[in-house]
Chain A
Amino acid sequence: MRNKVAILLATLFAAIVCVLGLGTGTAQADGETIFGFLFEGTGPDRVNYDGVDVTVSGPSGFEETATSDADGRWDIPVPGEGTYTVALDQETLPEGVTLRNQDLESLDVVVAFGQNKPVLFPLGEGTRNVASRWDEAAQLTAEGLRFGLIIALAAVGLSLIFGTTGLTNFAHGELVTLGGLLTYWLNSGNLPRFLPDGPQIPFIAAAAIALVLCGLLGWANDAGLWAPLRRRGTGLIAAMIVSIGLSILVRYIYLYLFGGTNQSYRSYQGQVGLDVGPITLASKDYISMGIAIVVLMATAYALLRTRLGKATRAVADNPALAAASGIDVDHVIKVVWIAGSVLAGLSGVLLGLAQGVNFQMGFQILLLIFAAVTLGGLGTAFGALLGSLVVGMFISVSTLWIPIELKNVGALGILIVVLLVRPQGILGRAQRVG
């Protein structure tokens, strides 16, 4: 199954062609300046917006407003180094043009001594004039589907590992992060500390190598830590706490190696949105959704039709009985760990494509992965898939009604509500406890 997945990935990634970069200008002025360009699109499609007001306020009552010129450029000299708040007046934007992220209407920036500090406000979604509520709902559903599929890749692996070994793996988020970090390192050539800069490997090859490494580390994780613990007879709850310790340890090693910043892959930044009906997504988003769907279907096929997949489900159902009927349980668990790690790594690669790479990207979605797995029914792979789509869509579509910063609250809240009415999850089997 792994080979199949790897080949599929390589071919699909090869289909990606659009490579666009964001251009930033430079400014020459005495003293410190904050400047930026207001535009949308790149290359020949670039549209500059003039007459937009930007206000900079800072320490000791400094406040200055500038209006963008025909190139979309604005400049505000500031009195010295320090922290300034840069705010865009959305009222002055042309009709139908909005900020891509409404939370970023004002930004706090630190200006160093003598620096000309660039500040960009990503504008977008304005190509569609005044979206109707239904269009907005369709757009959010598509974004939710994309996010749900990314969660699903990680959740299926988590659920399989839980099903076959009983381990509630809190360190699964770190496998997701690993996929993103390895791809970034290989793609950008900025290898982690103490290593010299490496070659800049194209994104597709970098992602493929990263996934192979994820599989290897997944195997090592099981062989080096979890298999010995199983042999010692360590309890499931003890193992769960060990996984929490591992998660903290690994996450801070990532922070040490990667730093606390958010980085993007070298390719596929700032793509222009493609319209499909009322939905506008970048081509990378369509392709990553396609990859996720194909990989998930391949996983489902493998589970349902192949010998190893059937053995996996047998072990998940009853390990003792599976062992008694001649299934090599240790081998199945090994394969599940490797496949689960590759799936988690792919989830991280795609998540990095959607929102950038940072040292705790996996940890940030870990609770949502858990919510998805629990919603679908603990230990059922298809439940995890369904649960992920529900969680992803719910998070995205609920922003129609609730503030965007509370979207995860809604998803976690619905988890608690579902447990009240259907404790075994959507696809789980009812189990009598007390």
Chain B
Amino acid sequence: MNWEQIIVNALEASVGLQAVVFALAAIGLNVHFGYTGLLNFGQSAFLAVAAYGLAVMVSTFGLSFWVGILVGLVGAVILALLLGVPTLRLRADYLAIVTIAAAEIVRLIARSVTFADTFGGSDGRQAFAGGFYDLNPYPEGSYNIGSFGFGERAMWILTVGWTLVALSCLIVFLLMRSPWGRVLKAIREDEDAVRSLGKNVYSYKMQSLIIGGVLGSLGGFVYALGQASIQPDIFGTETTFYVYTVLILGGAARVASPVVGAMIFWVVLSLTDNILNQAIDAGYISTSIITNSQVGQVRFMLVGLALMLLMIFRPQGIFGDRKEIALDAR
């Protein structure tokens, strides 16, 4: 067992690409679920629309990087409108079912053979990140402290990613202490009361859906640029459920908790993956019980179990306030 390697991997996971992506997605979801009480189960679709908007504009149509970013952002806004118009007047569970259906529609269209010329089918899109890495200010080389560290490309995407995380947190912080944010929280607590005070609840919910969607879509950009390739199946429903786990782990309706939730989530996954893999390699665990290729399954079981136990025993997560989690909002 190489403990140094295990710890270095865990440290890298705590600030790595996945942590950034899930932090951004969860910050967006926090606006929906934590502050407004909207059950959006299609957060992965916002990531997909952004990632594909960028990748398709650059690699299929040969347009510039910035056009791709713009198309991705506009796509996220349009998706929020499409999701919101039919469902925001209905009970909360309808929004849940429609958003999860919409996310599957996005994924199925992206991976279909019919549109493979545009979206690349199940192979997805590659070779679109050049414009982004041309802006890289880090000189070539590796930036290490001991064996912990990243290459110049990872340094650049992580710098941009964590800057976006910080800005998003700031935006959410400022929004939620404004009168507008108080209306959102009031909607979460009692929609009818807010309506009787003369507020247009539908419009506020729609604004929340758009803002949360756009914040989540930043995660899609960061993922696409960090991996320099995208495949449709990474934007499946399981991604959305991961984001929920991250959010609930940190504690919904807190500004920084999605960030902490994402870091802890990926550290725990990295630790279990690495420890199990090394224990199998070293023969501490017999391959008749579990093989290296099955370690990934244990990860999913852990996520499922964690989501259940958190929701049953500590729905406010690590930092949340139980009073703030209006889980029976309609």
Which residue on chain A has the smallest CB distance to residue B299? A252
Bound-state CA distance A409–B106 (Å) is 9
Q: Which residue of A236, A247, A378, A433 is within 8 Å of B328 (Cβ)?
A: A236
Q: Is A47 in the interface zone, CB < 8 Å from B?
A: no
Residues of chain B contacted by A367 (CB below 8 angstroms): 100-101, 104
Which residue on chain B has the smallest CB distance to residue A421? B86
Q: Which among B90, B102, B304, B328 has the greatest number of chain A C-beta atoms within 10 A? A: B304
Residues of chain B contacted by A245 (CB below 8 angstroms): 245, 303-309, 311
Which residues 92-150 of B sit at the A interface, judged by CB distance below 8 A? Answer: 92-94, 96-98, 100-102, 104-105, 108-109, 111-114
Bound-state CA distance A416–B101 (Å) is 8
Q: Is B191 in the interface zone, CB < 8 Å from A?
A: yes
Bound-state CA distance A255–B291 (Å) is 13
Bound-state CA distance A370–B104 (Å) is 13
Q: Which residue of B86, B109, B305 is within 8 Å of A416 (Cβ)?
A: B86
Contact B96 A168 (CB under 8 A): yes
Which residue on chain B has the smallest CB distance to residue A420? B86
Bound-state CA distance A251–B299 (Å) is 12
Q: Contacts A242-B312, A244-B244, A406-B114: A419 and B98 contacting too (C-beta < 8 A)?
A: yes
Which residue on chain B has the smallest CB distance to residue A423? B90
**Prevailing SS type, chain A contact patch:** helix
Residues of chain B contacted by A168 (CB below 8 angstroms): 93, 96-97
Bound-state CA distance A423–B308 (Å) is 31
Contact B90 A240 (CB under 8 A): no
Q: Is B182 in the interface zone, CB < 8 Å from A?
A: no
Q: Is A408 in the interface zone, CB < 8 Å from B?
A: yes
Bound-state CA distance A249–B90 (Å) is 30
Which residue on chain B has the smallest CB distance to residue A243? B308
Contact B330 A242 (CB under 8 A): no
We find that the number of chain B residues with CB closer than 8 angstroms to chain A is: 53
Contact B91 A433 (CB under 8 A): yes
Contact A241 B307 (CB under 8 A): yes
Which residues 35-75 of B sit at the A interface, judged by CB distance below 8 A? Answer: 39
Residues of chain B contacted by A321 (CB below 8 angstroms): none
Which residues 217-248 of B sit at the A interface, judged by CB distance below 8 A? Answer: 238, 241, 244-245, 248
Contact mask A117-161 → B, CB, 8 Å, 1/0? 000000000000000000000000000000000000000000000
Q: Is B315 in the interface zone, CB < 8 Å from A?
A: yes
Contact A234 B304 (CB under 8 A): no
A430 → chain B, closest Cβ, in Å? 11
A281 → chain B, closest Cβ, in Å? 26
Which residues 220-254 of A sit at the B interface, judged by CB distance below 8 A? Answer: 229, 234-238, 240-242, 244-253
Contact mask A369-386 → B, CB, 8 Å, 1/0? 011001000100000000
Q: Is A403 in the interface zone, CB < 8 Å from B?
A: yes
Residues of chain B contacted by A370 (CB below 8 angstroms): 97, 100-101
Bound-state CA distance A190–B181 (Å) is 58
Which residue on chain B has the smallest CB distance to residue A407? B108
Q: Is A114 in the interface zone, CB < 8 Å from B?
A: no
Contact B308 A249 (CB under 8 A): yes
Which residue on chain B has the smallest CB distance to residue A408? B108
Bound-state CA distance A199–B78 (Å) is 57
Which residue on chain B has the smallest CB distance to residue A234? B312
Which residues 347-398 of A sit at the B interface, judged by CB distance below 8 A? Answer: 367, 370-371, 374, 378
Which residue on chain B has the smallest CB distance to residue A249? B304
Contact A434 B191 (CB under 8 A): yes
Residues of chain B contacted by A248 (CB below 8 angstroms): 238, 241, 300-301, 303-304, 307
Contact B98 A433 (CB under 8 A): no
Contact A237 B329 (CB under 8 A): yes
Contact mask B302-329 → A, CB, 8 Å, 1/0? 0111111101100100000000000111
Q: Is A91 in the interface zone, CB < 8 Å from B?
A: no
A224 → chain B, closest Cβ, in Å? 12
Could you write out 25 A-B pairs with CB less than 8 Å apart? A168-B93, A168-B96, A237-B39, A237-B328, A238-B311, A242-B307, A242-B311, A245-B306, A248-B307, A251-B300, A251-B304, A252-B300, A256-B294, A256-B297, A256-B301, A370-B100, A403-B112, A406-B114, A409-B112, A412-B102, A412-B104, A415-B97, A416-B102, A419-B86, A434-B89
Contact B301 A253 (CB under 8 A): yes
Contact A374 B94 (CB under 8 A): yes
B191 → chain A, closest Cβ, in Å? 7
Contact A419 B100 (CB under 8 A): no
Contact A252 B297 (CB under 8 A): yes
Contact mask B74-89 → A, CB, 8 Å, 1/0? 0000000000011101
Bound-state CA distance A252–B304 (Å) is 9
B260 → chain A, closest Cβ, in Å? 19
